[in-house]
Structures are given as structure tokens and as C-alpha cells.
Amino acid sequence: MIKLFTTRELRQASLLLLMIIFMALLDTIGVASIMPFMAVLSNPDVVDTNIYLNNTFNYLSKFGVETKQQFLFFLGITVFFLLITSLTFKALTLYVQLRFTIMREYSIGKRLVEKYLHQPYEWFLKNHSADLGKTILSELNLIIAQGIKPLFFLIAQSVVAFFLILLLIIVDFKLALTVGSILSFSYALVYKLNSAFLKSIGKKRLTANQSRFTILNEAFGASKEVKIAGLEQSYVERFSNPAKIFARYQTLSQIITHLPRFALEAIAFGGLLFIILYLMKQNQDFYNILPTLSLYVFAGYRLMPALQKIYSSFTQIRFIGPSIDSVIRDLEMLKITELKKDYNKINFKNSISLNKVCYQYPNSKEKVLNDINLKIPVLNTVGLVGATGSGKTTTIDIILGLFEPQNGTLEVDDQLINKENRKSWFKSIGYVPQSIYLSDDTVAANIAFGVETNDINIKAVKNAAKVANLHNFVMNELSNGYDTTIGERGVRLSGGQRQRIGIARALYNNPQLLILDEATNALDNQTEKAVMDAVHNLSNKITIVIIAHRLTTLKKCDNIFVLTNGHISDQGNYDYLLKNSRVFKKMVEASSD
């Protein structure tokens, strides 16, 4: 579990450990102080016979403590003072301990988000977003509550138990060894019997939790489809099974953690009777056994909860072990390769080119792109067309810099785009996907997506909206203009309005390259025409790359590349391809049906 912490956090943990040791010492001294107090209380004459008490009494006589009754009063005040000091420092230690453990949910969560978000785009194709959210928002919370927090309770109570047992050994070696062995063996046996079972149900709980998040992500993410298809009860039942498994195993772990306490308390009570009988056999005089008995009672009062917390901490850590292993694996295996924050936009003046590009998806046997060569002159508008699976979107992802080809290069003005300058290349691009993600926020916040509210450049927002043919709609039809909240996923907007927000978002940072990846596929003809009019407003102002389902929307393109099975089979403007390319002609006919 140490691997969850950074070097700085380990230093903080070391200081906390020192506080825990000092707290245990204070606790032990407080318990030990009860013995001389009870000895004097039960038999005041012991002050004369015990060398330590006698020396203390003689020393205190210089300060006005002249009678045994005054000495007893002093001992009582001392015991009380030690108790208050111990409790005060214990409260301070608990505060530091809880603050350290709970803040790890923030720090480890931040590191996980940073690790995940800095992974290559290909990594996200292999990992479910619901699983990533589950790890950060659910598993990490459980790791803190049932892993890190119990770990420090385990350390704290182990130190307390160690010093208390050491104190009892000093007072009576045989008795302390007998009592300590019985209690320790009882807890160890119970833990050993449950250890394998805890690990097993911990793995099943982790799997069930992942299923819960995945099912909810599907149900709420596709609420319209669920409603129309009448799948509400189906999703309730799908969620019910893993949720029930999750709850059942959480309950089992808590039962295993707490139930043995009652049996072991019975053992402790029987042990107390055993101690009384043992001491009475050793010393027939009750007054002589009272100090030792009081010590064991107070020590037991502290020792039993300590042993119970040690046991429960072990069981919780064992149960949550699979989740801890999963988070450690992500923290160790996932590397952050791009931490630089200040990236300069790549300004290109001539062209973008793909040179002999080949690409094959991970775990796939066939190449999606094979020897692709294309050139996009600056300020041109070009189209990419082809049948499903021909490689259009993959080509776009290569141009975007999201995929790194196995062979070939992406170059901008003869400058190779690689991991060193990829972030700078991103700053030059505006991207409009087919499905626009809209947050439950204002129009302005959605156009300036990802920008803090106070940092939004409203002038840039309005300029981008005007180019996207959105400004008049916002000002004339929305009650609060750019401050109007549009609802989760833009449910209060039409498809065309959502797409135009997407275009405005892509233009907010004044990109040099605008890419529309099937951005109008879900729109009707009239809405598509309005959106494409907004795009054509930018012709000869920035470089534009378009993938479109309706090929008639590409009539104004300077050049169109036709992809067939990962190759560029034809290229030219719309009229040229319509006359000279059978593949393109068939696609135009099919798209107009």
C-alpha cells in the first residue's frame, strides 16, 4: 500500500508515525500511573515500605506535601493530568491521522485523473469510461475508508498494544504472557480462517461495482433510447444483480470485521476472572492484589479495543486488497509523457501532408490504412469519402495527431509531427465530431468549452458564434442570450443548433485547421445546408477537412480524396470525380437515395 503514496506523502506519514508512538507512550504512562495511586489508596502505609513511593513523598515534602492524604491527593491529580494530556494528544493525533488519510482521496484521485487524461487516444479505445469513473469516484473512496484509514489505525493500535503488553510483562511476566498469548492467538486464528474468503469476496465486489457503473452509464447516457424502447425495467433488473452482489459482500466484510468482538469479549471477561484468582493465589491479601488488578483492568480497557481495531483493520485491508492492487497498477504502469503546459501554436503556410502512412489498430491483424499519401494545401477545403470501414475516420485521427502511424509520417510545412510537438499541433486545430458533447451550462461556457467561467473571452465567443450562424439565434430566441443554460447534453436545442455550437467551439481559439468528422450526418437536409453555409463562410480563411455522408455537401471542396480499403483510389474536385470515378459516382447515387 506504500506504493500509493508520493515521497512527500511518505515523509508526512513518517511524522504521523512519530506522533502515534508518542501517543502510545503517553497512553501507557497514563495506565501505569494508576498502579501507585491504587496502592496508596488501598494501603497508605505502602508509602513507607515502597522505596520509589517513599523517595517521591520525601521529595514532595519540600513543596508542602506533608501528609499521606496530601500525597494521595497529589497522585490523584497526577493520574488525572496524565489522562487529560494523553487524551488531548490522542485527539490531536487522530485529527492529523484523519486529515492525512482523507486528503489522500484528493491527491491520489488527482494523480489518477492526470494519469488517465495524459494517456494516448488509443488507450481510451481499450478502456471503458465508466470503469475509469468507477475507480476514481467509488473504488478510491473505499480504498481510503477500508484501506488507508485502517492501515493507520492498525499501526496506531499495534503500537499501543505493544507498549501496554510490555508494561504488563514488566509487572508480571507469566501472567502477561498467558493473557497476551490467548488474546493474540484468538484474533490471529479468526483472521486466518477468514483471510482467503475476504480476498475472494473482495475480487467479486470489485467486479460487481464495475458492472454497476457500466450499466448506469448506459442507462442514463441513452435515456431517450431506453424510454422509446421501453427498457426501463430491463435496466433496473440488469443493475439489480451486481448491486445486490456489491451490497452482500460489503455486508459480509463488515460482519466478519465486527462479530468476533463479542466472542472475544467473553474470553476477556473470563480472563479477568482468571487474573483475580491467579493474583489471590499468589497473594492472599486483597489489598496487595488491588493495585495489580486495577492495572490489568485499565490496561484491558485499552487493550481490548486496540486488539479489535488491529483485527478489523487487517480484515478491511484484506477485503479491499484487489482494489488497492488495481489502483497501484494504474499509478505505476501509466506514464505521463506530456507535462509541459505552455505550447506554441504551429502556424503553417504551405500544406499538411501524409507520407506513406500505414496504421494498424492494437490487437488487430489487418491494416486500416496502407501507404496513404495525401497533401492538403493551406486555405483549401478538402473532403474525405469512402465506404464504411475504408479508413476515413482513422485518416482524420492521424491528421489530428491522435494516432501515431506504424509507418509513414504526418508533416506540416515539412515539419514532422510527433510526441514532442503534438500538443502544439492540437492548438492549431478546431475539431467538430458527429456527436457534440454539451454540458449542462451556458451557451458561452459550451462554446468556450473547458475554460473557467471567469476566464471566458466573451468577444471571442460572439465572433465564433457569428461565423457559425449561431449569434442571431442566441440573441433573439434565448431568454438570457449567451448566459442561457442549455440543459444536460443540450436537450433544449435542436440538432442543427447543437452542431453550430460545436462549430463555434471549434473556432473559439482561432484555429488554422478545421476538421468536420461526419458532423452533419444526423441532420436533415435543410439543417445540414444551414450548418454547411456556416462552414463555407470560412472558405479561403482557414484550411478545412470534411467527412460527409451526403456527398453533395462536398461540391464546393477544392479537392476530394476517395478512400477504398485503406487506399486512396481517386482524388479531384466534385465534378471531376463524378465524371471519372465509378466508385465516387456510386457513392453519390447511394447518398442521394
Residue spans of the domains in the chain: they are 2-207+254-333, 343-428+513-593, 438-510
Q: What grid cell was written down for 60?
A: 514532595
What 8-state DSSP symbol labels residue 485?
Answer: B
Q: Each residue of 200-237: pLDDT tens digit?
A: 888 888 888 888 888 887 777 666 567 766 778 888 88
CA dist 401 and 396 (Å) reads: 9
SS3 state at 429: strand
Q: The domain 343-428+513-593 is classified under which CATH number: 3.40.50.300, 3.40.1280.10, 2.60.120.10, 3.20.20.140?
A: 3.40.50.300
Q: What is the reported pLDDT for 338?
A: 55
Strand runs labelled E in 306-442: 351-359, 369-377, 381-386, 407-412, 415-416, 429-432
pLDDT value, residue 273: 61
257 compared with 99, residue with greater pLDDT: 99
Tell me the range of 173-182, 275-284, 359-368 where mean pLDDT is highest: 359-368
Q: What is the mean pLDDT of the chain?
A: 82
CATH code for residues 438-510: 3.40.50.300
339 pLDDT exceeds 50?
no
Class of domain 2-207+254-333: mainly alpha
Residue type, 345: K
Angle formed at CA 521 by CA 439 and CA 488, multiple of 5 degrees: 15
Tell me the pLDDT tens digit for each residue of 290-309.
666 666 666 666 777 777 78
Write down the pLDDT at residue 556.
86
Q: What is d(CA 391, CA 399) in angstroms, rounded to the nearest whole number? A: 12
- The grid coordinates listed for 499 are 452542431
For the segment 170-176, the average pLDDT, to the nearest whole number, is: 74
Lowest mean pLDDT among 143-157, 281-295, 335-349, 382-396: 281-295
pLDDT(87) > 70: yes
Hey, how many other C-beta atoms are within 10 angstroms of the C-beta on 341? 6
Q: What is the mean pLDDT of residues 315-324?
A: 87
Rg (CA), the chain: 36
Q: Is 541 exposed, middle or buried (0-12, 13-18, 19+ CB in 10 A)?
A: exposed
The pLDDT of residue 275: 61
Paired strand residues for 547: 384, 517
Percent of the chain with pLDDT over 70: 87
Rounded Cα distance, 545 and 431, in Å: 10
pLDDT band at 407 (very low <50, low <70, confident <90, very high): very high
What CA–CA distance (Å, rounded) separates 384 from 517? Answer: 9
Q: Name the pLDDT band for 282 (thresholds 50, 70, 90).
A: low
Query: Is 405 in contact with 359 (CB distance < 8 Å)?
Result: yes
In the chain, the N- to C-terminal Cα span, in Å, equals: 61
Contacts of 566 (CB under 8 A, 6+ apart): 367, 368, 369, 370, 372, 390, 391
Instruction: Please list, in sequence order, all residues whose beta carbon lies within 8 angstroms of the beta carbon of residue 144, skipping any fewer than 6 positions away.
Output: 101, 102, 104, 105
User: Are 134 and 243 in contact, with CB atoms under 8 Å apart?
Assistant: no
**Residue 285 clears pLDDT 50, i.e. is over it:** yes
Q: Report pLDDT for 289.
A: 60
- Please name the amino acid found at residue 191: Y
Per the CB < 8 A criterion, the answer to whether 381 and 558 are in contact is yes
Q: Where do the H-state alpha helices sit in 222-285?
A: 223-229, 232-258, 260-282
Say what the pLDDT of residue 194 is: 82
All residues at 6 or more sequence positions from 129 whose CB lies less than 8 Å from its CB, including other chains:
217
Q: Pseudo-torsion of CA 120, 426, 504, 440, nearest 10°?
A: 30
| For residues 533-558, average pLDDT | 83
pLDDT score at 236: 85
**Is pLDDT at 453 greater than 80 in this prediction?**
yes
Looking at mean pLDDT, say which of 52-61, 159-168, 292-301, 394-403 comes out highest: 394-403
Mean pLDDT of 64-78: 80
Residue 265's pLDDT band, with cuts at 50, 70 and 90, is low
438-510 shares the fold of 343-428+513-593:
yes
What does the pLDDT read at residue 562? 92
Least confident of 116-120, 304-308, 362-366, 405-409: 304-308
Q: What is the pLDDT of residue 294?
A: 66
User: What DSSP element (H or E) covers 517?
Assistant: strand 513-517
Q: Does residue 284 carry a pLDDT above 60?
A: no
Give the whole-number percent of the chain exceeding pLDDT 90.
Answer: 14
Residue 487 to residues 79, 90, 226, 334, 468, Cα–Cα distance (Å): 64, 49, 19, 35, 21
